C-alpha cells in the first residue's frame, strides 16, 4: 500500500520561510509532487521531484531524498495569499497512479 | 492559457440514479485522471486513462464507476447507481506527461440525496 504523512497545520508570519515535510511509504515510487489548494478551489501544481535534490521555482522549492522516503516544500517570503492547503503526492512507477497526502493547512498571519 | 473544463459545476441526484460527469482535458494532453474529494478531506485518486484504456484504478473505482473518451475532446466519468457516500467534489485532471504536472479542472460538486 501507499501512505504519506505531513503535518496537519502550520502557522507562519508574512515574509517568513516555512517548510512543510512529507514522508511516504510506497511500492514502485516514481516521483513526489506538491499541490496547492485554496478553499473552494482545485489543486494547482507547484513542483515535482523525480530525482534526489532541490527543485526551485520562484519562491517555492521542493526537496526529495529517495533513500529517506522524505521530501519537503519550502515557501519563502510568505504572502497572505499563500494561506491554503498544501498536498504532497506520490506517483507510482509509470506515473499513472498519484496518491495524495492528507494536506497541510498553512495559515499566514500579518 | 489552456485549461481543463468540467460540467456541470454542481449536480444533485437521488440515490440509485446514474450520473455522468463531463470533462474537456487540455487538447494536446494524453493522460487523463479522475479524483474525488470529500469536503475537508484529501484528494483521492480514482482512475487514470491513457491510449483509450484505463491505466490504473483505485479500490474506490468499483463496478459502479466507468470512464469513457467518447470523442477526441471529452472524458467522462459515469456512476451507475449513486450512493449517499458518493457525494463529493469530483476533479478531472490531464497531463502531457504521466510523471509530471497534472492540470486540474474546477471540479463538479456531486450531491446525492
CA distance A104 to B25: 28
Mean pLDDT of chain A: 94
Give residue B99's pLDDT: 62
**What is the arithmetic mean of pLDDT over B13-40?**
95
The pLDDT tens digits of the residues spanning A50-60 come to: 999 999 989 99
Indicate yes or no: CB of B55 within 8 angstroms of CB of A101: no
Beta-strand ranges (E) seen in chain B are 5-7, 10-13, 19-24, 31-37, 43-50, 53-57, 65-68, 75-79, 88-95, 103-104, 108-112
Mutate one of A1, A32, A43 to test the B interface: name it (highest B CB count within 10 A): A43
Beta-strand ranges (E) seen in A14-97 are 18-25, 29-37, 44-49, 53-57, 60-65, 70-75, 84-92
Those residues with Cβ within 8 angstroms of residue A67's Cβ, 6 or more apart along the chain or in another chain: A52
Give residue A35's pLDDT: 97
Nearest neighbour of B98 by CB, restricted to A41, A89, A96: A96
Indicate yes or no: CB of B45 within 8 angstroms of CB of A45: no
Amino acid at each position: 500500500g501507499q501512505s504519506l504523512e505531513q503535518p496537519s497545520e502550520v502557522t507562519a508570519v508574512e515574509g517568513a520561510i516555512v517548510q512543510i515535510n512529507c514522508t511516504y511509504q510506497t511500492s514502485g515510487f516514481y516521483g513526489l509532487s506538491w499541490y496547492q489548494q485554496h478553499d473552494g478551489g482545485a489543486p494547482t501544481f507547484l513542483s515535482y521531484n523525480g530525482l534526489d535534490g532541490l527543485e526551485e521555482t520562484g519562491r517555492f522549492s521542493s526537496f526529495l531524498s529517495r533513500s529517506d522516503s522524505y521530501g519537503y516544500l519550502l515557501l519563502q517570503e510568505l504572502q497572505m495569499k499563500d494561506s491554503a492547503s498544501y498536498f504532497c503526492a506520490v506517483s507510482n512507477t509509470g506515473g499513472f497512479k498519484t496518491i495524495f497526502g492528507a494536506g497541510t493547512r498553512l495559515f499566514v498571519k500579518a | 492559457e489552456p485549461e481543463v473544463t468540467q460540467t456541470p459545476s454542481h449536480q444533485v441526484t437521488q440515490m440509485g440514479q446514474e450520473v455522468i460527469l463531463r470533462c474537456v482535458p487540455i487538447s494536446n494532453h494524453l493522460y487523463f485522471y479522475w479524483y474525488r474529494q470529500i469536503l475537508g478531506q484529501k484528494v483521492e485518486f480514482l482512475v487514470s486513462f491513457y491510449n483509450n484504456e484505463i491505466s490504473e484504478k483505485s479500490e474506490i473505482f468499483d463496478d459502479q464507476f466507468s470512464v469513457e473518451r467518447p470523442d477526441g475532446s471529452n472524458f467522462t466519468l459515469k456512476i451507475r447507481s449513486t450512493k449517499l457516500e458518493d457525494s463529493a467534489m469530483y476533479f478531472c485532471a490531464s497531463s502531457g506527461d504521466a510523471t509530471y504536472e497534472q492540470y486540474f479542472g474546477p471540479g463538479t460538486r456531486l450531491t446525492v440525496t
